[in-house]
Structure 1
């Protein structure tokens, strides 16, 4: 993936130190950024963002500024202009940078992360790569829609009622061999004319309307139609499907889910449920019991985003999981942050002790993949390998991946 910014991107440098601001602006232009602007403080940055409407942008902002610091500025960014992304820069130590990234990430999903000043060329390439990945999600929308555009609630409900939620697949790669061993089914809302919405833009409506189970059942049916072509190319193969505890917190939920899997013709050895949680569902005895029954019926269970939210040691102890999934926030920082790396290493060791398989999400570069393999992680998924794609495109990707592996094996022999 290119380490250059998109040609149409506007880049904003925000720093109260004039020398450092000008130096970074020159560095950006030398790296290929054609449109670079400067702002001396947070208020000037907000004014610039408001002036540029819905244009795509990337902001590199100093964390420690008088008046409005970088964290406060992040809180205003999504409302000021929803089409951009922000990278925080600071001369503080690594612990402060990590805390800033976590705190800022709670205020804006557009925060790319934090980097130490001064920026090295590799850091700048990392920022550009993350910005392009985020922009790639935005480009899934129609050209006239912003990345955070939400359609009218009535339109959204009508789309949900007509079954417009579709299952896209992102491959899971075995790190030791490079083989495709499975995929995660990710929900997309089909807007027609080639446009789709990401879960962060519509799932809140699914949940508030009580449609989580219905939507999951729809995706099960779609997976049943997609799997035969995949299994003809890959065996064994396991598809992971997110299952919210809230959606099975009713006595009739499990029979309906089991019936849908059977009707779709999916063998239990080919389906894994990634359990996602909320504060209310964690306390639900019915939901917890249904999770245990899924395992008793032969389904594998994955604890999703382990170490964040409600995916804790207590849940790992209470429920019969067979896989542990590392959250992307730890995975993406492990190369640069000793604390994140230690947490990944200890979590993988815990999984091995408990006899759980492991998968890391959000793997975006080869160095991270190699580190995870060295630490003993079983599988990985992320943009390094492939984005999520419609099932028919996934099948074509599988064929290309098989050809590439065969050629690599031939090259190794000769």
Structure 2
């Protein structure tokens, strides 16, 4: 795959090219860098070979087709790679453009103000290499490239090609490891690792979301049943879509899976994206309430990116609120992000739910969130997603890193 840089500023494109090469272009899996000074030319390149570009850098202010138009057309041609927005515009404009791109279902790694600083660029590339979950809503993700993939996914569900990585979640006050989030992956026979932003929408369209959820949940419960720390067993969080809450016997099915794995329901957290909260919640509220009665905890994922109203948050029996990485990243330096996070934390205190900061990457953001009173956190600053077999080794090594992070 290749990297594409679209910017009418020749100095910026050349500098970015030099920086990318200096950071190990080929080691990151990219064969070359293409440079374009016009959005129309960049779009033509991607349209010809959507799968040939894995990473696109795009300026916002360009003559002719501006960056926002380019982003819209990029989604239309089926671009499935990662996107980074760059601009000298004011931060709020850059932030708005980022939200526009996410609304198009694109995998936005982040934004870079001009002039691009090497440290910021390195952080963006590190995020991509870490394989973090994209911040955009799952139902807006792009479909897989082949119509035959539905059959392939069905076979994968039954043949064991689906597996989980796990990202630890820690108490920001004490550093104690409290749990992990299961991040599903598909080991495709020809395409390699396929991310859930591709196969979850496919499963929903193909009527496979139930079997998919059962496999992911069952894998997580069986992996987690033997994980212990000095404070006890680890909680495990699993992402679901609202489509999983479509049948009234769902709580019983979850309970049976937990019993088969000998895993206590009190340590299970089911995460639902705020962008997927029900618009006709009668059946879903029934299901969620019975899950809570069985001891299962429920989390609002990607909080702040959707359009839920306060009545929904009041009525739904959630026990955890996960603040989206788009607000966590840069919270220490950006007053608007800080204000949003403060408001979310205040709301969580008022409705008595736990708060989790997602996407922790920087020490200053960690210090800011601790100061604001956020309870839990996860992100590459703590640990990158890891296979099940590495979780216990990491928990034994964590105290050394923890002491350094909390003392800084």
- TM-score range relative to shorter protein: 0.7 to 0.9
Do the aligned partners of residues 281 and 356 (structure 1) sit closer, same or farther apart at CA in structure 2, a change above 3 Å counting?
closer
**In the alignment, is residue 15 of structure 1 matched against residue 7 of structure 2?**
yes
The residue aligned with 1:174 is: 171
Match of 2:61 among 59, 64, 88: 64
Match of 2:226 among 219, 226, 229: 229
Task: Provide Cα deviations, 1:61-115, integer angstroms capped at 9, x if missing partner.
Answer: 3211121111222234467695753322223222211111111222252333333
Aligned Cα root-mean-square deviation (Å): 3.4
The residue aligned with 2:336 is: 339
Superposition TM-score, scaled by structure 1 size: 0.81
CA contact (8 A) 2:150 2:203 kept: no
Higher alpha-carbon deviation: 326-335 or 179-188: 326-335
Task: Provide Cα deviations, 1:168-201, integer angstroms capped at 9, x if missing partner.
Answer: 3211021122221101122222336994322112
Q: Any gaps of 5 or more consecutive residues in structure 2?
A: 27-31, 135-142
How big is the shift at 1:291? 0.5
Q: Please identify the structure whose Cα radius of gyration is greater.
A: 1
Match of 2:389 among 366, 384, 392: 392
Q: Write the distance in 1 (CA, Å) between the matches of 2:17 and 2:194.
A: 34
SS in 2 for 1:61: strand
CA contact (8 A) 2:300 2:322 kept: yes
The residue aligned with 1:111 is: 108
Question: Structure 2 matches for 1:5-404, cutoff 5 A?
Answer: 12-18=4-10, 21-22=13-14, 37-49=34-46, 54-55=51-52, 58-77=55-74, 82=79, 84-133=81-130, 152-162=149-159, 164-191=161-188, 195-231=192-228, 235-276=232-273, 281-402=278-399, 404=400
SS in 1 for 2:368: helix
Do the aligned partners of residues 19 and 164 (structure 1) sit closer, same or farther apart at CA in structure 2, a change above 3 Å counting?
closer
Q: Any gaps of 5 or more consecutive residues in structure 1?
A: 1-8, 139-146
How many residues align structurally?
391
Task: Provide Cα deviations, 1:334-353, integer angstroms capped at 9, x if missing partner.
Answer: 24432222101111122123
Higher alpha-carbon deviation: 284-293 or 201-210: 201-210
Do the aligned partners of residues 18 and 215 (structure 1) sit closer, same or farther apart at CA in structure 2, a change above 3 Å counting?
closer
The residue aligned with 1:4 is: none
Do the aligned partners of residues 131 and 216 (structure 1) sit closer, same or farther apart at CA in structure 2, a change above 3 Å counting?
closer
Q: Write the distance in 1 (CA, Å) between the matches of 2:359 and 2:205.
A: 27
How big is the shift at 1:54? 4.9
Higher alpha-carbon deviation: 45-54 or 370-379: 45-54
Higher alpha-carbon deviation: 62-71 or 100-109: 100-109
SS in 1 for 2:395: helix
Do the aligned partners of residues 265 and 33 (structure 1) sit closer, same or farther apart at CA in structure 2, a change above 3 Å counting?
closer
Superposition TM-score, scaled by structure 2 size: 0.82
CA contact (8 A) 1:100 1:114 kept: no
